Amino acid sequence: MTASLCTFSFIPLRSEPSECSELISQLLFGDTYEIVDSNDNWVEVICDFDGYRGWIDKKLVEQLSASEIEQWRKSEKWIVPAPSVEIVCEPGKQQQVVPAGSCIVFNGQESNSFCVGSKEYYLAPGYKINGKKRGVEEIAMSFVNSPYLWGGKTFMGIDCSGFSQIVHRIYGNDIPRDASKQVEIGRTVDFVEEAKGGDLAFFDNEEGVITHVGICLGGGKIIHASGSVRVDMFDHIGIFNVGKNSYSHKLRVIKRI
């Protein structure tokens, strides 16, 4: 087997084949990946969605055929909205929480069920797939108070670039994983006063390295993951933390995706 997909709520993606190694990102439910290397207990993978490369525990690899993976890859996907949905696995009616930004390939347009290998899943009763499309700002606000977690991409723990990536994925824009790559896309917004909801604001350090990203809300406000997902004021200087009465991040550029 050279590929698989994540059937857990999420799988930690680590820099080295060790549980003590740095968490660099996460695979979310439904993410497909290529297996490029392995040892006794770990496999090195590349996530199809954003090209991120890292190591995952071999015990978390679902044994699927090449045709099943290819079918999932090419099929139209439903992106789980924020913050999560609950799915049920048959047999046994085992329940599982699937975080926002995960992807599901349903059995049909009118179906709320889907299959992964020999397992059949369906959405928990009462959940409607087809709802009103939400704006980027509304999606982002549903993550408020999620704790900061380096390498995280879920409401249970998320970092700044994971936050901007997942929010835009739910909205319908696929963007890179890291802020240093996100800043390379989109159109530059020349003035803070022209920033609109959904624009990405990037911040750098004294060496000019991009170290932070947030999502503009309009009206001089920004939502970002710093300690937790929070709303702060920002201007041409950067992000102003009212609680600390000081600027926490220095503005570099604003981009419209």
Catalytic one of 47, 212, 216, 249 = 212
Question: Is 224 annotated in the active site?
Answer: yes
Catalytic one of 160, 168, 216, 249 = 160
Question: Is 160 annotated in the active site?
Answer: yes
Question: Is 212 annotated in the active site?
Answer: yes
Catalytic one of 103, 168, 216, 224 = 224
Separation CA 160–CA 143 (nearest Å):
12
The set of catalytic residues is 160, 212, 224
